[in-house]
Amino acid sequence: MCQVKLKLVLFFLSTTLISPRLNSQESIYNPSNEIITSFEKTAEKLIELMTIEEKASQMLSTSKGLPNYGIEMYNWWNEALHGVARSSKATVFPQAIAMAATFDPELIQQTADAISTEARAMHNIFKAKGMRTEYTGLTFWSPNINIFRDPRWGRGHETYGEDPFLTGKIGTAFVYGLQGNHYKYLKVAAGAKHFAVHSGPESRRHSFNTKVSDQDLYETYLPAFKELVNANVEIVMCAYNRLNDEPCCGSGTLLNNLLRKNWGFKGHVVSDCGAIYDIKSNHNYTKSDEESVAYAIKGGVDLNCGSLYNLIPDAIEKGFLLEEELDQSLKRLLVTRMKLGALNKVDDNPYDELNKDDINSKEHIKLARNVASKSIVLLKNENNILPLSKDINRLFITGPNAANVNTLLGNYNGLSSNIVTPLEGITSKVSNGTIIRFNKGVDLIHNNHGRMESSASLAGSSDVTIAIMGISALIEGEQGDAVSSDANGDRSKIALPKNQINYLKALRERSGNKPIILVIKSGSAIDLSEIYDEVDAIIYAWYLGEQGGNAIADVIFGDINPSGKLPITIPESISHLPDYEDYSMNNRTYRFTNYKPMFPFGFGLSYSSFIYSDLVIDNKNGQEGDSIILNFNIRNNSKFSGEEVIQLYIKAMDAPFRTPNSSLKFFERINLQPGEKRNINVLVKNDMLSSINENGDTEIVKGSYKIFIGGSSPGNRSAQLGKPVQEISFEIK
């Protein structure tokens, strides 16, 4: 039908141009070559003065002070997954998976900017007190941009979901916000982890050998890392596992060739903690720890989170490593410290002025509530039972997560004095004329038969029941931290715990026809098939941070119109999933599954009804002769003002190799007033049409294509749930 050339532009014909995407140079830390050259020369002069032992001391996560060279002691380990973590009091923002559910890179950049402001302020305070321990520095090992390929992985809620395109966009925005855009200094250094192809099993992460095809590698597992490298991320953390037989922390294929030579990465690489030790002791890849140290440094690992780099002098003495190879890594580390203005005393760093007034400020608390509200996903709203009236007569609040602080904090979290549970948020929202009763009902995973029966009876005498259920980061998380997990942090089941299912059925029996609102707190997919028909509304509320209770109440009572979208697929059954340890993407995520989902990727309802119509290919406005321009209308067919996330997916129909069912290629949030209709054009660019073949190469195949436009990923299930997707076909000849 038409040959395709390429550019992407979204603009509203009936209004103004949409603001630029967050990949402009104005958003990125990108110092001049002159500044970097100056830093490098200073680093080289320092290295010339050091002994091998002194050099080694600077390549450990706890780096010693070298007063003779003006180098202060520094601890490189800091965390900022969704707020400054494990440090002093800080604003606790929603967990990473919730940030992805906003589908709003601009909002996430603002969030990361607030996080880095608090990080710098804390560092300045700690520095004045002479404190230089873990979690007081400026190098942050966040974000986690691994692909959430399987809902059983316990650390999936640290990620931005299952889609590489969404992960890249949200991750890039987070890096922009953390690192700032000063012409000379990083605000803080962001770290992309875990490179590469790392998503369980937690029990075997120190010895696991990940087997991946070139197609899956370049189609799914690597794109987000490449996008963050393009955004000048300063740190990359290598993963514990092997990739196709080679330990990631020391893989010359991954680090020196792909990351540095092919992608142009300019920062430094840090090992995951203990990963250098794993090379010999768990991977059996080397015969000695000295050889492991040499393997890692030669392969491109500059910083050791651990202690094995103390063996660097021995590795050199035994001939496993050259001092010049050591110098190359150390130079990268010293340059990072100079980019932060943290090596020598400087008087031109604007971030040195940040102080306690910049921590957990009113603006940051408001932002945390906004992110939480925009991340909440409405999955069901039978007969438009929501929003509820604040003047309801009798309200029953129940469930193990109603007053559970853990389900607000997630993991890798900070602490705040402003933590609001759902119980508190809902209670503060209703009128003084509402009778409120609360009973936990059941624990997260344990049966409480006697309490369950007495608690369920309260549903019968209430006008509405709000049941706040789900799991917590004690059930899903990192090995050793998720103490209630039955699989070392992972999940062996994805259904709602059986005791909670039984309790919901008891609530339905006692409440009769009175509404039950189910709020699910989780960082991953929960199979809700057994209780879907037992409740009138379902709200997916993630681990929402300190303002989570207020955000949930805002949505339930209509002060906020829900607009979050699922960054994951929720399957109907665990039986639909491949073997957990199989890293092939076949039958995984919305892009490759053969099964109808319970809730599809990108899905989320609203109190508004958005109608897409009149999708056509319209080249009359084209800037490039034969470019594809999509034209369609979207209308808010309701009485509620609301935000919709427009999503564009593409499928190549005639490729001679496996291609995704569809792939997200573009998304944008828009706000529509009641009854407002808007005409939208999307100009499709070349890389949106490319596919990855079996060799991992990018190509644009000839033949038929389908483009899907709507408020969810395409498929019959989206239409069944009230989010039909428009589609149109075209050809590349």
Cα distance between residue 61 and residue 275, in whole Å: 13
Q: Taking the C-alpha atoms of 250, 251, 254 and 260 in order, what is their torsion angle to the nearest 10 degrees? A: 50
3-state DSSP assignment of residue 204: helix
Residues annotated catalytic, as ranges: 272
Cα distance between residue 311 and residue 80, in whole Å: 30
Q: CB under 8 Å to 51, separation ≥6 — which residues?
A: none
For residue 225, what are its two tokens? 């890392």
Q: How many residues does the chain have?
A: 733
Cα distance between residue 480 and residue 458, in whole Å: 38
544 contacts 408 by C-beta, under 8 angstroms: yes
β-bridge mates for residue 636, sequence order: 610
What is the arrangement of strands in the sheet containing 377-381, beginning at the earlier edge strand? 377-381, 537-540, 516-521, 464-470, 394-398, 435-439
What one-character DSSP code corresponds to residue 162? S
Cα distance between residue 67 and residue 56, in whole Å: 16
Q: Indicate left, alpha or beta for 687 from its phi (over 0: left) and psi (-120 to 50: alpha).
A: alpha
Cα distance between residue 419 and residue 550, in whole Å: 10
101 contacts 570 by C-beta, under 8 angstroms: no
727 Cα distance to chain centroid? 29
Q: Indicate left, alpha or beta for 595 from its phi (over 0: left) and psi (-120 to 50: alpha).
A: beta
Cα distance between residue 687 and residue 199, in whole Å: 27
Q: Taking the C-alpha atoms of 11, 16, 17 and 22 in order, what is their torsion angle to the nearest 10 degrees? A: -110
Cα distance between residue 311 and residue 601, in whole Å: 48
Q: CB under 8 Å to 352, separation ≥6 — which residues?
A: 120, 124, 341
